[in-house]
A = this chain, B = another copy of it.
Amino acid sequence: MTQEPARVPARRPTLRDVALLAGVSTKTASRVVNGEGGVAAAKVAAVQQAVAKLDYRPNFTASSLRRLNGRTAAIAALLEDVANPFSSALHRALEDVARDRGVMILAGSVDEDPERERALVHAFTTRQADALVVVPASESQRYLAGEVNAGTPVVFVDRPPVGVDVDAVLVDNHAGAAEAVHHLVAHGHRRVAYLGDLLSIATARQRFQGFKEALSDHGIRPSPEHIVHDLHTEGDAERAALRLLAGEAPPTALFTAQNLVTIGAVRALRELGRHHEVALVGFDDFPLADLLQPPVTVVAQDPSAMGRLAAGLVFRRLDGEHWTPTVHFVPTRLVVRGSGEIPGPALSPPARPGRSG
């Protein structure tokens, strides 16, 4: 219980300090700290005492500089936004797998900004991340070629790589969207609207394709007014849905191709009091979807599974395994909850069954 507040911040002790105090060489101190063995018991004890007394903590960055493989035991994750549920679930899954191996995750938010993506890659690679897990926002990731050639494992998640040949963990967005549309059509809908994210995002394009082709499988051609792209926030989506539903010949069902868009659409339907009339299927699940009125039917992705798979690929590469880059698909799952089963005109135009929303 010393009183003086150590005004001059004590320099952090180094291995040299430990060695000096223990009366051994730095190399021997290093051996003890790393449990290398081949050190006399008496010296081991002396070093351990010195470590405890000085509260010594090895400088991991210095040691990884010298070590043979140069690993920093950190892998970088470029996420869309650490605060959105999809990204943070992915982040958590990566962390869980990495934790078992004593590896840290460096995470950053790309915010759909290609420049930001490059800045983050630069920041992470200069910090010698051992591997990169990327949810890309740019149109081409050719700039990663150098890293890939240098042997850094790179895994893309959610969106396919362009201009580089690396592993990817993707969702079959096309099939998922098509399943949503088939579901709506099966419930009697013909006028199905599409509300989607930025067309610059590959997954948005794929989902839109799936939407279009599924409708066309049923011989339906969506009216152009029922297709809205480039919605990236709840507010965007809400306004777009309001506009859509206020038009003439409004859609009887909505397919919303991203979770924030889905939530915006729910808001719009609520405001209009039509949430029990207009069917809705969203792509991507979100917390509390089951507690809304009606509960929201979604095509669920499994970000945790994607994260675990991506982390697995990273570690297998880090462990020295070799294979040609592969695309892995994680299945989507249609979660039927209510909003997608609201019947459309083609199913029950004359008489509705007794139960109402």
Contact = CB atoms under 8 A, between A and B. Distances in A.
**Which of A60, A61, A85 has the largest count of B CB atoms less than 10 A from its CB?**
A61
From A58, A82, A292, name the one whose CB has the most chain B CB atoms within 10 angstroms: A82
Contacts of A59: 65, 126, 128
Interface in A280-295: 286-288, 291-293
A81 interface: yes
Interface in A234-290: 263, 266-267, 270, 286-288
Given A125-B57, A270-B291, A291-B267, A91 B95 contact: no
Given A58-B126, A82-B82, A287-B288, 18 more contacts: A57-B125, A60-B128, A61-B127, A65-B65, A82-B91, A82-B92, A82-B107, A83-B88, A84-B88, A85-B85, A88-B88, A102-B123, A104-B124, A107-B107, A263-B288, A270-B291, A292-B292, A293-B293
A63 to B, nearest CB: 9
A108 interface: yes
Interface of A: 6, 9-12, 55, 57-62, 64-65, 72, 74, 81-85, 88-89, 91-92, 95, 102, 104-109, 122-128, 146, 149-151, 263, 266-267, 270, 286-288, 291-293
Contacts of A72: 61
14 contacts: A6-B149, A10-B149, A10-B151, A12-B150, A55-B146, A57-B125, A59-B126, A83-B85, A83-B91, A95-B109, A102-B123, A104-B127, A266-B291, A267-B291
B95 A104 contact: no
A201 to B, nearest CB: 20
Contacts of A151: 9-10
A9 B318 CA distance: 13
A104 B108 contact: yes
